[in-house]
Amino acid sequence: MTASTDRPVVSASVSTDGRDSPGRRWDPRDPDATEIPGERVSAFADDALGTGDATDVAHRIASGEISAAEAVEAAIARVEAVQGRLNGLQFEDFDRARRRAATVPTRGDAVAAFAGVPGAFKDNVTVAGMPLTMGSRAVVPRRLSTDGGVVKQILDTGMIPIGSTTCPEFGWTATTERLGGDVTRNPWHTGYSSGGSSGGSAAFVASGALPIAHANDGGGSIRIPAAACGLVGLKMSRGRTLGDPSTADTPVKVVNDGVLTRSVRDTARMVAALEQRYRNPRLQPVGEVEGPGARRLRVGVTIDSPVGPATDAPTRAAVEATRALLDDLGHDTVDFAPPVPRFFKSDFEDYWALLAFAISKNGRKQFGPGFDATRLDPLTLGLAQRFSRRILKAPLVLARLQASSRAYERSIADVDLVLTPVLSHQTPPIGYLSADQPFEDHFRRLVDYCCFTPLHNATGAPAISLPLGATPDGRPVGVMFSGARGSERTLLEIAFELEAARPFASVDGSPSARNVSIS
């Protein structure tokens, strides 16, 4: 098959009427009070990538139906077509992607799981030959000389990166908005956030520009953009992947790497492929998961966070509908009140502040002599100042976060999995979490929004976001399943079962376009 020269069709232009203002007024409990301008953006086209998921593309490359070069060219064309409207590309690496595509093994040779499939890395991991800014104006881009551990793992799966994707400054926030209105938009509705911090990867995968992309999660940064953009986002157990030098020295290992996908099978295939390079002997192997499990599960259900505000109506409806579906499928659902310690919220916020303080003081050592702390955004500076005021609490905070894993495992011993929202309310519009607004406003909104996801980063437990809900106007709402450390297989099995029962919507309007049968 030869790639079509037709460019992807992108819907009408985005309104930029000034309402993307810092700290815009928007009530998450009454979202209909303000009309949000914007359009839906789809990059799907009649080209080598088609409408299939990454697994479909990999199979068609391996069979010889298309070449890796055609797949890469289609991805580059799609990214270029939507970049002006979504703004998900940080740095391009098109020429090297083309060279890599030319060396992908041909049909009949042993090939990696995603050999020739185009993707991208988030702009906060160590990729040889690529610049790195961590989404911050304070960091001068410099090309790196080595690949980090997880980058090597993902490259070994055969994925070909066409560049790096956008993230907010150091990944602190739940949207991909940077100073000066430099924002990444949601392809389902460009007036809304694509989530964060892996918002560039999410925007490109959801729009169809890429079939798969790297993401990572230090407080929800895989699961939040998955929920915002209607994707599958698995945050794996601590230690499941090799990690990156950028987070190697942190006292509590909250960051976990993975991918964002449009199908459960892509996520499961990536987990199995990553295990081929590195298998942590302290974790139960995941292996190849190819469909639902036979065992009926006991699932605890929590709708309101014990450390946040009440969940909004669309999110509550998504969780309740998922619970009803589980019951219909023969699973046993029970009300579940997670015994989260009263001090957990402030401890995680203090640790977050510690990391920002370390960057503000030691940025030159980590990012080179060009690092300029005066160019940090208000959120980073505000977090650093918070830590300065609370520095004496640091030893206790670290001790309690490091001990949280054991308490978490005991707390979920009576259930197989826990079902919750990903976030307390639906995805906010651009500007609500703007990087340009005062720290106090941003921080208050952020912690009220992200009151479910940080627990799994502190404890090292796995959790997955699935696009099983929607707002009244059709934007995605994610729900989250979590389990004990090492329970990724169970999470993937339930995800397969729910996807089959309620196929995920695609931004191009085709139901389950990703699940193309492979002959």
Q: Which residues are catalytic?
A: 122, 197, 221
Under 8 Å between Cβ of 473 and 305: no
Q: Is 131 exposed, middle or buried (0-12, 13-18, 19+ CB in 10 A)?
A: middle
Per-residue H/E/C for 82-136: HHHHHCCEEEECHHHHHHHHCCCCCCCCCCCCCCCCEEEEECCCCCECCCCCCCC
Under 8 Å between Cβ of 94 and 79: no
Residue type for position 518: I
Distance (Å, whole) CA 263 – CA 247: 28
Give the number of other CB atoms < 10 A from CB of residue 500.
14
Distance (Å, whole) CA 258 – CA 236: 7
Distance (Å, whole) CA 154 – CA 112: 10
Distance (Å, whole) CA 275 – CA 287: 8
Residue type for position 284: Q
Q: Is 108 exposed, middle or buried (0-12, 13-18, 19+ CB in 10 A)?
A: exposed
Q: What is the residue whose two structure tokens read 């023969």?
A: 330
